[in-house]
Amino acid sequence: MTALLPLLILMTSLVPAIAIFLTPDDRPRLRAALNLGGAFAKLGLVALMLVGVAGGAAYDVAFPLLPGLEFRLKIDALGLLFLTLSAFLWLLTTLYAIAYFEGTPNQSRFFGFFSLCVAATTGVALSGSLITFFIFYELLTLSTWPLVAHKGDDKSLKGARSYLAYTLGGSVVFLVGIVWLESLAGPVLFAEPGALDGLDARSLALIFALLVVGLGVKAAIVPLHGWLPTAMVAPAPVSALLHAVAVVKAGAFGIVRIVYDVFGHARVQELHVGLPLAIIASVTIVWGSLRALSQLDIKRRLAFSTVSQVSYILLGAAIAGPAATVGGLVHLVHQGLMKITLFFAAGALAERQGITRVDQLDGVGRRMPLTMLAFSLAAIGMIGVPPIAGFVSKWMLGTGAVQAGDLWVLFVLAASSLLNAAYFLPLIERAWFRPSPAGAPAGREGPAALIWPAVVTGLVALLAGLFAGLPLSPLGWASMIAERTYGL
């Protein structure tokens, strides 16, 4: 039973996906039951795994694919960090999406690919080997592009083509790196960096670069980020999924795996590839924030914010030291909570008030107070104001930079926070402190499923900061990973 648990968790998304594809569009209750049943089942299994892994249990299943290739699923502390975020946000995004798409066509197609996307993200989190990771990573690409193209208009199709071109191009580079590495070292299993001992340092450095570039497309590092703002033509639930837990986060999670579980942190420093990764992450952090400043479309501003914020995870992985590692790992969760709150709120504003631009926000805080309260909380957290979760991430990254002697990173974090304030505070000021324009729609904050997911994730982001010192908080779990798994 223990060996089968990774497969059972994967099935909680894969089975509903197949069933939903077969469900007629005129059966919304059945479709909702399949969605929510899978989401609650996944959360239950994840809770069971959290208790087990915290107690030192191991969950591993493998079987051969081809001679020399093995399909391996493994639940470890790092994968479970990502999986818990995915399971929790899948439930809330499902509730939100059911309300968002009510009365629209092609819902079985959408929710089928939606569940398939979550299954792929689950597989990414559970992968125990590099080749297994690649399989699910590609399934993630193929299951998300129909979601980007869901509306079927010219802008959606163009955005989906751009997304597919970028991500498949990155996958080719990623695959080249995998084939080269496994031709030298044999099958690469996660958490066994000793398998690379004795290999040529120059070859390993080049392979590292190929793997990071291939994964960096989905992680939206500069200059490989062009697909992300274009993909904002997707419906709000898709945008929330792309930015908070699925595509962008899968790329960042993959780079974390490469640094810690394929090469090992010590070898990354020996190969002198940590500093270039830190520089790329820092450039992305500042560039994404600068580009966000000039965006009038709310979702595009949030998209460039994601470009910036996700690279905090890479920066933590690139800096040598325990605090930076913890800061990068915990931001995997904190960014997801805050960013999905922002996209939930942006979608509600568009649906209930027709607001899609920054200059349309005047007075909306009084018309949609719960929505804008959640949005404001998440935005302030992104800036790094205590005690919200974003402050905890930045504090740990800054502490790690000091520990490692990389004081220049402090200037990057300070510049990023100032830029975050520059592009978020005007939105909050417009919403709460300016009068509503003449003829603005009256306050309409229903239905509840369109509002409360943002409120819940916003509150969880606040609680993650307030109770960061608890052992089972995101910070506590990230600290356990750094200490127990990586010996930092």
Highest average pLDDT, of 30-44, 56-70, 241-255, comes from 30-44
Task: Select the more confidently predicted residue: 374 or 239.
Answer: 374
SS3 state at 357: strand
pLDDT confidence bin for 283, thresholds 50/70/90: very high
Answer yes or no: are the C-beta atoms of 147 and 234 closer than 8 Å: yes
Question: What is the domain partition of the chain in residue ranges?
Answer: 285-488
Cis amide prior to 229 (ω within 30 degrees): no
Measured CA to CA, the distance from residue 208 to residue 375 in angstroms comes to: 38
The tally of CA atoms less than 13 A away on the side-chain side of residue 190 is 31
Quickly tell me which residue has 């402190």 as its tokens: 433
Measured CA to CA, the distance from residue 253 to residue 271 in angstroms comes to: 21
Average pLDDT over residues 43-54: 90
Instruction: Work out whether the CA dihedral 65, 9, 243, 398 comes out positive or negative.
Output: negative
> Is residue 230 pLDDT above 90, yes or no?
no
Structure tokens at 344: 């939930």
SS3 state at 213: helix
Average pLDDT over residues 308-317: 96
Answer yes or no: are the C-beta atoms of 181 and 218 closer than 8 Å: no
The residue among 485, 263, 453, 465 whose CA lies nearest residue 381 is: 465
Q: Residue 469: what pLDDT?
A: 92
Kindly state the DSSP code that residue 263 receives in the 8-state scheme: I
Answer yes or no: are the C-beta atoms of 342 and 304 closer than 8 Å: no
> Is residue 231 pLDDT above 90, yes or no?
no
Measured CA to CA, the distance from residue 395 to residue 132 in angstroms comes to: 34
Measured CA to CA, the distance from residue 58 to residue 363 in angstroms comes to: 53
pLDDT confidence bin for 69, thresholds 50/70/90: confident
- At residue 249's C-alpha, the angle toward residues 247 and 255, to 5°, is 110
Judging by DSSP bridges, how do beta strands 69-75 and 59-66 pair with one another? antiparallel
pLDDT averaged over the chain?
93
Q: From residue 192, how far is each of 188, 214, 261, 394 by CA, in Å? A: 8, 21, 6, 30
Average pLDDT over residues 257-271: 94
Measured CA to CA, the distance from residue 470 to residue 475 in angstroms comes to: 8
Q: From residue 123, how far is each of 67, 132, 134, 333, 363 by CA, in Å? A: 22, 8, 10, 18, 43
Q: How many H helices and E strands in the chain? A: 20, 2
Measured CA to CA, the distance from residue 50 to residue 15 in angstroms comes to: 23
pLDDT confidence bin for 239, thresholds 50/70/90: confident
pLDDT confidence bin for 3, thresholds 50/70/90: confident
Measured CA to CA, the distance from residue 263 to residue 133 in angstroms comes to: 15
SS3 state at 189: strand
DSSP 14-64: HHHHHHHHTS-TT-HHHHHHHHHHHHHHHHHHHHHHHHHHHTT--EEEEEE
pLDDT in tens, 92-121: 999 999 999 988 889 999 999 999 999 999
SS3 state at 240: helix
Where b means 16+ CB within 10 Å and e means fewer, 84-105 reads bbbbbbbbbbbbbbbbbbeeee
Q: Return left, alpha or beta for 96; rule: phi > 0 is left, psi -120 to 50 is alpha, else beta.
A: alpha
Q: Residue 68: what pLDDT?
A: 75
Measured CA to CA, the distance from residue 121 to residue 136 in angstroms comes to: 7
pLDDT confidence bin for 18, thresholds 50/70/90: very high
pLDDT in tens, 154-198: 988 998 899 999 999 999 999 999 999 999 999 999 988 888 998
**N- to C-terminal Cα separation, the chain:** 32
pLDDT in tens, 364-399: 999 999 999 999 999 999 999 999 999 999 999 999
Measured CA to CA, the distance from residue 295 to residue 386 in angstroms comes to: 26
SS3 state at 321: coil
- At residue 386's C-alpha, the angle toward residues 327 and 461, to 5°, is 70
